[in-house]
Structure 1
Amino acid sequence: MGQKDIVEKNLEDYNDVFSDIVNGFVFCGKRTVKSRDLRSLKVRSQYKADKGSLHEEERDNAKYWSVGKVKIAILGLENQTNPDKDMPFRVIGYDGAAYRSQLLDENSKGRCPVLSIVLYFGESRWSGPRSIKEMVEIPEGLEEYVNDYKLHIFEIAYLTEEQVKLFRSDFRIVADYFVQKRKNKTYIPSKKTIKHVDAMLKFMSVMTGDERFLEAQKVKTTGGEPNMCEILDQVENRGIQKGIKLMQGENDVLRAERDAALAEIAEALTEKAAALTEKDAALTEKDAALTELVQKEADLARAMELLKKHHIAFA
């Protein structure tokens, strides 16, 4: 079972969200299905793989809808982010398994219909088949004898504003997000309060890939039910604070690097100054020796001059 399926179940498994989705799409917003009248149901379909091994698939979400002791229907939700060329086969398998479960239930009193809807969250239109007959080639003469099975697909990103307003649960925020992103490529957060905050944020982070929702899961909201605007504002503020800390850290690193560079320069200058001082001392010593030599030569010249003056010659 994929990660997206799991988070979708966490959100849609809440009866208020599930009933709201069914009421919005099936009953045009009328509060026909009550959350208190829903009971979770696990529906699995079995099939044989290429090597004959038995495999089992569990549908995304299914619930019994009953009023009192009277069963009304089995309702199923399937979620898709991309068109699936095998979707009609999958749904008929799930629905068939739901009918079979009633057949095998000895304690069941009365049979009820099975209704499945597919919620498609892609940005483009659904391009996959919508019925069994679109998937198979029917030989001539058999058309009227082959039963069809049609999907009820709802393209969330292409809902109208009026359709979005039909929803009253957290699903309205979900629908509003996908509609806005499809139309404007941007999202202005809704001020509608969120009831199931954690499930909503997990759903949005996985389904949209928007890291703000992932970051929002780490943000502690204040008391009460927050709205998406407040949550994303807190995420932004958290990001600003992290940015400030990061800049402070970078400044500390820069200061340390600057101080190290200055210390290195100072050490080099000190060594150079010492070398110059040593060189100056050597030059001074050399100058002194040269001065002494010049003085000696001058003294010798004067002595020779005196000897010559007094006619004193060396042997």
Structure 2
Amino acid sequence: MGKKDLTGKQLEEYADVFVDIYNHLLFEKEYLQEKGLQNDATQSVYHSENGEIRFQDRDIIKKYNDGTNYVIANFGIENQAVIDKTMPIRVMHYDASGYHKQMKEKAASVYPVITIVLNLTEKRWTAPKSVHELVTMNEKMKQYVQDYQIKVFDIAYLPDKIIESFKSDFKEIAYFLKRKRQGKNPFDSTRKLKHYREVLEFMSAFTQDKRYRELGIAYLEEVEKKGGEVTMCRVADALVNQGISQGISQGISQGIQQGIQQGMELGRKEGFLDGRIQMLADLGYQTEDIVEKLHVSRELVERVIYEHPYDDI
């Protein structure tokens, strides 16, 4: 299992996040309850075509019951950081393994196995969503080939109405991915995060930007210790501080080169401000947003962004 899949699993393992995803993406109503969930083994063993024993890992799978003594269904989530055209076959294999497990355990009754796929890329899922779409065959043959269809959700393209229906921290993940794709400020939220460590790990893995994890978590832990609310806006604050530090260092260096104290002070001030501007731009803030947030001129913002970008940020 890849690092991105593991990171997504950390957040989705929480019952409030798991039921939130299923209720508002698949069922479109409050169907699952947190208390009905039970973790199930994500790893299974099977025999390959040549007879070798192989292990199969799923991202996340949970059993569910509605308060009775028997399981109603197995629900799974597969996170995709890349678009995989073989996904219908993979999901079919996952689900078949779930049914096979029930047979081995000699379950009194067979319950359904359901899997949904979360497309976490910035592109729409254009790959096959069924076996019929994947397999090359003529129309006459199609009637004899069993089809297997999968449910794929393009998270970065969800309508705001659906994203607003989420009650867990997955709302922030959905808005983050969507706004990032749109080139908007992905941190424009003051909603309190419940699982902020897992949210930042998720963002760090799926954007391949380690600053979310290395800078964001430590900063938010300090905010929490001081009694402050942990929000996505606070995440932006943590990353902006990185820009400030880099800007100050660059400014001091420029001042030293001028060889006078006045130059050092000027370089310090300019580097401080340039660092904040560049980091906000790096986080997805538009020019107008930066002007309003920092109370600076549009000309200054455009100079920093377009003329002197920091390559190492």
Q: TM-score, normalised by structure 1?
A: 0.73
Distance between the aligned counterparts of 1:241 and 1:139, measured in 2? 63
Cα distance in 2 between the residues matched to 1:42 and 1:254: 64
| Counterpart secondary structure, 1:67 | coil
Match of 2:237 among 233, 258, 268: 233
Match of 1:11 in 2: 11
Any conservation in 2 of the 1:45–1:93 contact (CA below 8 Å)?
no
1:122 maps onto 2:121 in alignment:
yes
Give the C-alpha shift of residue 57 in structure 1. Answer: 2.0
Deviates more, 1:206-215 or 1:241-250: 241-250
Distance in 2, Cα, partners of 1:131 & 1:140: 15
The 3-state SS of whatever aligns with 1:217 is: helix
**Cα shift at 1:156:** 0.6
- SS of 2:114's partner is strand
Is residue 46 of structure 1 aligned with residue 46 of structure 2? yes
Distance 1:229 1:185, change over 3 A: closer
How many angstroms does 1:251 deviate by? 5.7
3-state SS of paired residue (1:89): helix
Q: Once the 2 structures are TM-superposed, how far is the Cα of residue 48 of structure 1 from its aligned partner?
A: 2.5
Aligned length in residues: 253
Task: Map residues 46-195 of structure 1 onto 2, 5 A cutoff.
Answer: 46=46, 48=48, 53-68=52-67, 69-106=69-106, 108-138=107-137, 141-195=140-194
CA distance in 1, matches of 2:129, 2:70: 32
Unaligned runs of 5+ in 1: 257-315
Residue aligning to 1:270: none
Q: Which residue of 2 aligns with 1:293?
A: none
Hey, which bits of structure 1, 4+ residues long, moved more than 6 A?
Answer: 252-256
The one-letter code sitting in structure 1 at the alignment partner of 2:223 is T
Q: 2: CA distance between counterparts of 1:179 and 1:111?
A: 39
8 Å CA contact retained: 1:5, 1:60: yes
Q: Which runs of 5+ in 2 are unaligned?
A: 261-313
Give SS of 1:182's match: helix
CA deviations 1:148-176 (Å, max 9, x no partner) are 00010000111111011111101000001
Q: What's the CA shift string for 1:198-222, capped at 9, x where partnerless?
A: 1110000110234542321232332
What's the offset of the Cα at 1:131?
0.4
- Determine which structure has more spread, i.e. the larger CA radius of gyration: 1
In structure 2, distance between residues paired with 1:5 and 1:94: 15
What are the Cα deviations for residues 175-207 of structure 1, in whole angstroms up to 9, with x where unaligned? 011111222354243111111111110000110
| Contact kept? 1:130, 1:150, Cα under 8 Å | yes
In structure 2, C-alpha distance between the alignment counterparts of 1:142 and 1:193, rounded to whole Å: 54
Match of 1:222 in 2: 223
TM-score, normalization by structure 2: 0.73
